[in-house]
């Protein structure tokens, strides 16, 4: 829904006509009515701003209040973020869930950082790590917030634990994957559902395979078929995971 320009002009004209038809009003009444005009346009501007935010439920006030205690660390007056700062940082993760929320929160952080030149970029970048919190978007004035997408819920520990029983087969020590191996392989499609999850799981497999030179490429490629499981991504050290949809 968008408010059109003609609608805004119509409101302005009606209010302006009221002033011209009552020139004898006392000064305080004219001032009051001017204030009403200003309030109308402020409300319209705020409404249009809210509409442009899309489906984001997060507001800049929420983001700023979450980070207000981090200003001493971000500006370099403290070497370590306080507990109150880290609690606020962890709150960001819970209020920015959808892609629209993440992009909105990212823009709030970016605009706030840009308005405060004393904020140090390296301190901002290190804040989530210092607080031991994984944030859904970078804390930086240089981020392109439009590129923030849904983040993966799957992690490498899940992927590796699903495939650990397959190492004897993948390294050529056994000719057939064990039942425990195939149970782990069958778990992969259930934990890697979204595109982000598939790409993350693919990268975990790829990195693990690259770190183990003894893994045989043909064994890795044949593993899903041997286990009679359809996996959402190739098990290979050579896959371009960014192309997985």
Domain boundaries, the chain: 5-52, 60-147, 156-243
- How many residues would you count in the chain? 245
114: left (phi over 0), alpha (psi -120 to 50) or beta: alpha
Indicate the pLDDT class of residue 151, thresholds 50, 70 and 90: low
pTM of the model: 0.42
Give me the mean pLDDT over the 177-199 stretch. 85
Structure tokens at 134: 């994984």
List Cβ neighbours of 75 (8 Å cut-off, separation of 6 or more): 116, 118, 119, 120, 123
Q: Would you state the pLDDT for residue 74?
A: 94
Q: Would you state the pLDDT for residue 228?
A: 92
Q: Would you state the pLDDT for residue 19?
A: 41
Q: Which CATH superfamily is domain 156-243 in?
A: Plant lipid-transfer and hydrophobic proteins (1.10.110.10)
Task: Judge whether residue 163 has pLDDT over 80.
Answer: yes
> Residue 206 and residue 181: Cα distance in Å, rounded?
18
Structure tokens at 244: 């997985």
Nearest to 152 by CA among 99, 230, 88, 108: 99
Note the CATH number of domain 60-147: 1.10.110.10
Task: Judge whether residue 12 has pLDDT over 70.
Answer: no
Q: Are 76 and 122 in contact (CB under 8 A)?
A: no
Domains 60-147 and 156-243 are alike in CATH topology: yes
């Amino acid at each position: 829904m968008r408010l059109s320009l003609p609608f805004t002009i119509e409101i302005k004209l009606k209010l302006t006509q009221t002033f011209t038809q009552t020139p004898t009003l006392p000064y305080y009444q004219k001032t009051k009515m001017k204030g009403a005009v200003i309030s109308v346009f402020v409300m319209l501007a705020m409404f249009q701003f809210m509409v442009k935010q899309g489906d984001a439920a997060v507001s800049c006030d929420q983001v700023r209040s979450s980070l207000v205690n981090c200003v001493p660390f971000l500006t370099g007056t403290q070497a370590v973020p306080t507990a109150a700062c880290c609690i606020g940082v962890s709150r960001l993760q819970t209020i920015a869930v959808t892609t629209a929320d993440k992009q909105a929160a990212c823009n709030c952080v970016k605009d706030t950082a840009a308005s405060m030149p004393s904020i140090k970029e390296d301190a901002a970048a290190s804040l989530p790590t210092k607080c031991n919190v994984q944030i859904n978007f970078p804390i930086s004035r240089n981020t392109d917030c439009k590129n923030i997408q849904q983040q993966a819920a799957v992690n490498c520990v899940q992927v590796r634990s699903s495939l650990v029983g397959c190492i004897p087969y993948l390294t050529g020590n056994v000719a057939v994957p064990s039942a425990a191996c195939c149970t782990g392989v069958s778990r992969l499609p259930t934990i890697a559902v979204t595109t982000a999850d598939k790409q993350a799981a693919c990268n975990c497999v790829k990195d693990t395979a690259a770190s183990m030179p003894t893994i045989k490429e043909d064994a890795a490629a044949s593993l899903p078929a041997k286990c009679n499981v359809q996996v959402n991504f190739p098990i290979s050290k050579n896959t371009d995971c960014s192309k997985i949809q």
